[in-house]
Amino acid sequence: MPENASPNFTARFQGTTFDDMVEALTKGFGSFDAWRNGRDKPLDWKVGFWGDERLSLVSNQDSGGWGARTAGGTPETLAIIVPRTGALDVAFGRTVAEATPGRLLLTNNLEPERVSVRAGLHRSDTLSLSWAIIAQTVAAVLETPLTGALDLAPVVDRSTAAGQLIVGLAQTMIIGMRNDGPLLHSPIALSNLTQAFADLVVRLVPHRLSHLLDKKIHLIAPRHVRRAIEFMHANIAQPLTMQNVADAAGVSIRALEIGFRAFKATTPSAYLRTIRLQAVREDLRDPSNRQPLRDICLKWGFFHFGRFAAIYRAAYGENPSDTRRRSGL
């Protein structure tokens, strides 16, 4: 993940003292204890943050040489740490995970004993994903409740296809959220990517319960697939997760996926994307709908417009603009 993948961010707060920086970061991360040698020395810093309690992004830049640990009572999250410049170390007892540009670290924010930012120019992006989403995904995918620590492998291996997929999705979310980006204006797309990331973490990152991924489950009856399809059509404009769909069908996510593959030759998420693509087409063909194409895409959860255009062209043999032109607009 190259450093130049991180353009300048709009600072929500900036200043020259360490205590002011800690106060600003607290607004994005929640409460934490922090320390620095020469706490009163000048420190140029800036902080930007975006999102909500489900998924948030903090971008920060400073001159390093400080440390922190999460304070008690802080909401539990999965911290997705993406260093851009400089380095930091995340300590778990005797184990220390090194975060440098090009690496991505995953950790439950309550587990590290300390996070140490090395001296020198430091810049990083950190996504905070509600741990409740991770716990729900574990229960849905592995069909067992999450009790205790998940013990995720902290360093994502970018040399593997799985690692590249996780890093790429994290980068997509960061770019889409930073500086009040388009993801923040498309609740459907943001919900989809948030759930997709949680799903990738549970399925692809080694952890204490990974062995349960090999557990066999039974095929579900077609009526459950039909129930899921009816639910998707009825709630197509809502920011659905696959857990919502599975709950409506009365089965687990894994069982729902197997049912769709067996009886529809697709996945539930792909089916939902297809009917939303059809909804976009209907909006484009409606002469009374004068919404800009960008707004229509965001409405139906498509925030990457170049990728949307390619998917649309592959599905319908024409560009979205061609469809709108033929509608008379």
Q: What are phi and psi of 66, to 5 degrees?
A: -145, 165
The whole-angstrom separation of Cα 74 and Cα 31 is 6
CA distances from 175 to 12, 49, 146, 179, 269 (A): 17, 12, 31, 8, 23
Residues 9 and 142 in one domain: yes
- The answer, yes or no, to whether residue 4 has pLDDT greater than 80, is no
pLDDT at 262 over 50: yes
Q: Which of 108-117, 197-206, 211-220 has the lowest mean pLDDT?
A: 211-220
pTM of the predicted model as reported, rounded to 2 decimal places: 0.72
- Per DSSP, the chain holds a count of helices (H) and strands (E) of 11, 11
Among 295, 298, 309, residue whose Cα is nearest residue 188:
298
In the chain, the number of structural domains is: 2
Rounded to the nearest 5 degrees, what angle is found at the Cα of 226, between the Cα atoms of 315 and 232?
Answer: 60
Residue 244 lies in a domain: no
In terms of domains, do 179 and 312 share one? no
Q: Is residue 207 part of a domain?
A: no
CATH number at residue 294: 1.10.10.60
Both 145 and 283 in one domain: the answer is: no
Final residue before a domain boundary, out of 184, 214, 231: 184
Which domain range does residue 278 map to?
A: 272-326
What are 189-210's pLDDT values in tens digits? Answer: 999 999 999 999 999 999 999 9
Do 9 and 146 reside in the same domain of the chain? yes
Which of these three, 162, 184, 206, is where a domain ends? Answer: 184
99 contacts 89 by C-beta, under 8 angstroms = yes
259 located within any domain: no
What share of the chain has pLDDT > 90, as a percent? 57
Q: For residue 197, is it within any domain?
A: no
- Distance from C-alpha of 233 to C-alpha of 245, rounded to nearest angstrom: 11
CA distances in angstroms from 62 to 58, 76, 120, 122, 143, listed in the order given: 13, 25, 8, 5, 43
- Answer yes or no: do 298 and 153 share one domain: no
| CATH number of the structural domain spanning residue 144 | 2.60.120.10
Q: How far apart are CA 1 and CA 183, in angstroms?
A: 20
| Same domain assignment for residues 35 and 163 | yes
**Does position 3 have pLDDT exceeding 60, yes or no?**
no
Rounded (5°) CA angle 36-121-152: 75
155 in the same domain as 48: yes
Cα–Cα distance for residue pair 91/98, rounded to 1 Å = 9
pLDDT in the model for residue 272: 93
pLDDT tens, residue by residue, 128-186: 999 999 988 888 888 777 877 899 999 998 888 999 999 999 999 999 999 999 999 99
Same-domain status, 10 and 144: yes
Q: Are residues 148 and 38 in the same domain?
A: yes
Task: Please report whether residue 82 resides in a domain.
Answer: yes
Q: Choose one of 153, 184, 215: the last residue of a domain.
A: 184
On average, the pLDDT of the chain sits at: 89
| 93-98 own/partner pairs: CB under 8 Å, 24+ apart | 97/154, 97/155, 98/155
Of 295, 56, 304, nearest to 177 by C-alpha is 56
DSSP secondary-structure letter at 219?
Answer: P
Please write down the HEC assignment for all residues of 136-177. Answer: HHHHHHHCCCCCCCCCCCCECCCCCHHHHHHHHHHHHHHHHH
- With a cut of 70, say whether residue 1 has pLDDT above it: no
pLDDT at 220: 57
Asked, for residue 68, whether it belongs to a domain, the answer is yes
